[in-house]
Amino acid sequence: MLTGKSILVTGGTGSFGKAFVRRALREYDPHKIIIYSRDEFKQYQMAQLFPSDKLRFFIGDVRDEKRLYRALAGGVDYVIHAAAMKHVPASEYNPFEAVQTNIMGAQNLINTSIDAGVQKVVALSTDKACNPVNLYGATKLCSDKLFVAANAYSGKMITRFSVVRYGNVLGSRGSVVPFFQKLAPTGELPITDERMTRFWITLPEAVKFVINSFPLMKGGELFIPKIPSMRITDLAQAVAPGCSYKVIGVRPGEKLHEMMISSDDSRRLFEMGDRYIKLPDFPFWQIQLPEGVKPVEEGFEYASNTNTQWLGIEELKNVLQQEGVVE
């Protein structure tokens, strides 16, 4: 799907963007990859990390519609939308900034992608968009709705939009793993709640899932990977064996357990191999599902505490070692 294609990645200097570029250059032969982001120093660092003539570094903000038009003007086949304001407390303190980036930025990308004749757009979402309890999750839910509805908005134009939603990513910025590693020498780790569970996916797995979603998408789907859960106490022991922990309480805007699919979402939810596929609640156009899909049972939920796949302490250690996070 990526060979010979021109791809634009918004927020491309982030964890996902770097992992995507690494895989795309290693396993495919894209025509070019445009890194669209705001920070010129991070772009400089990324250019040193990937000295390839297939990369283009484009300074710009998704809030700037005119700049997006310019970035897409050279002919772009696919777009991966990874740009977002993600920090929960920062979004709560600066709510309209989160709205402008996560919502207005999404609509800007929709408008410009349709006008530029982009073939496919995949937007990255988060578990926090399912039954959101903080502004970040609420803005991402709104963004998801915009991208799904954009398939009707595009009319007879060729552009199609889909969304990928997954949970915590090992190795991403803001991950709890480096936080635990930093505090390990003190002998004590802060734990919000001993019962807390989280979904778990590695960066390479996330990138692979997104790439594999391109040939499946017809427009309007929400793709959710089947991934394991872990207990926060097990992760603490895997990262810093022997450390004690202090319970500090669930932070504002935080959930005890993650949920990627609610029971209400299950009404138009289908299962296929390594993923679940959520169809739009308001289908203004026809979607042809891939072969081999089957509807889930009524009332189905996909939550981290009721998951059927789990990573224990030893499994977590193995994953962390494989990803080079711990020795």
Question: Which region holds residue 111: left if phi is over 0, alpha if psi is between -120 and 50, else beta?
Answer: alpha
Task: Between 249 and 287, name the one with better pLDDT.
Answer: 249
Tokens of 310: 């789990």
- Which residue range forms the structural domain that includes residue 48? 6-167+201-226+260-301
Confidence label for 325 from pLDDT (cuts 50, 70 and 90) = low
Tokens of 268: 């138009």
Tokens of 240: 């810093």
Question: How far apart (Å, rounded) are the C-alpha atoms in residues 277 and 270?
Answer: 5
Question: How far apart (Å, rounded) are the C-alpha atoms in residues 279 and 119?
Answer: 20
Tell whether 306 is covered by a domain: no
pTM: predicted TM-score of the whole model, two decimal places:
0.94
Are 191 and 251 in contact by the 8 Å Cβ rule? The answer is no
DSSP state of 310: B
Segment 7-28 shows an average pLDDT of 96
Give the pLDDT of residue 299: 92
For the cut 70, the answer to whether the pLDDT of residue 267 exceeds it is yes
Number of domains into which the chain is organized: 1
Question: How far apart (Å, rounded) are the C-alpha atoms in residues 123 and 217?
Answer: 12
Residue carrying structure tokens 């992608």: 113
Are 10 and 62 in contact by the 8 Å Cβ rule? The answer is yes
For the cut 90, the answer to whether the pLDDT of residue 116 exceeds it is yes
Tell whether 188 is covered by a domain: no
Tell whether 66 is covered by a domain: yes
Residue 285: closest CA among 140, 114, 157, 141: 157
Tell whether 296 is covered by a domain: yes
Tokens of 164: 């990928």
DSSP lists the bridge partners of residue 123 as 81, 163
Tell whether 286 is covered by a domain: yes
Calculate the alpha carbon distances from 277 to 101, 110, 127, 132, 284 in Å: 26, 21, 15, 20, 17
Confidence label for 252 from pLDDT (cuts 50, 70 and 90) = confident
Confidence label for 287 from pLDDT (cuts 50, 70 and 90) = confident
Task: Between 97 and 252, name the one with better pLDDT.
Answer: 97
Q: What percent of the chain has pLDDT over 70?
A: 98
Are 25 and 52 in contact by the 8 Å Cβ rule? The answer is yes
Task: Between 95 and 182, name the one with better pLDDT.
Answer: 95
Segment 133-148 shows an average pLDDT of 97
Residue 269: phi and psi, rounded to 5, are -115, 140
Give the pLDDT of residue 17: 96
Give the pLDDT of residue 145: 97
Tens-place pLDDT, residues 301-320: 999 999 999 999 999 999 88
156 is catalytic: no
For the cut 70, the answer to whether the pLDDT of residue 327 exceeds it is no
Give the H/E segment covering residue 98: helix 95-99
Tokens of 96: 């309209």
Give the pLDDT of residue 174: 64
Q: List the catalytic residue out of 18, 128, 208, 278.
A: 128
Tell whether 87 is covered by a domain: yes
Mean pLDDT for all residues in the chain? 93
Confidence label for 186 from pLDDT (cuts 50, 70 and 90) = very high
Confidence label for 151 from pLDDT (cuts 50, 70 and 90) = very high
Lowest mean pLDDT among 3-12, 53-62, 111-120, 183-192: 183-192
Confidence label for 64 from pLDDT (cuts 50, 70 and 90) = very high
Are 232 and 204 in contact by the 8 Å Cβ rule? The answer is no
Expressed in angstroms, the distance from the first to the final Cα of the chain is: 35
CATH of the domain at 137: 3.40.50.720
Tell whether 243 is covered by a domain: no
Confidence label for 156 from pLDDT (cuts 50, 70 and 90) = confident
- 197-202 and 229-231: which strand pairing? antiparallel
Residue 83: closest CA among 102, 107, 64: 102
Give the pLDDT of residue 242: 86
Tell whether 237 is covered by a domain: no
Segment 268-286 shows an average pLDDT of 89
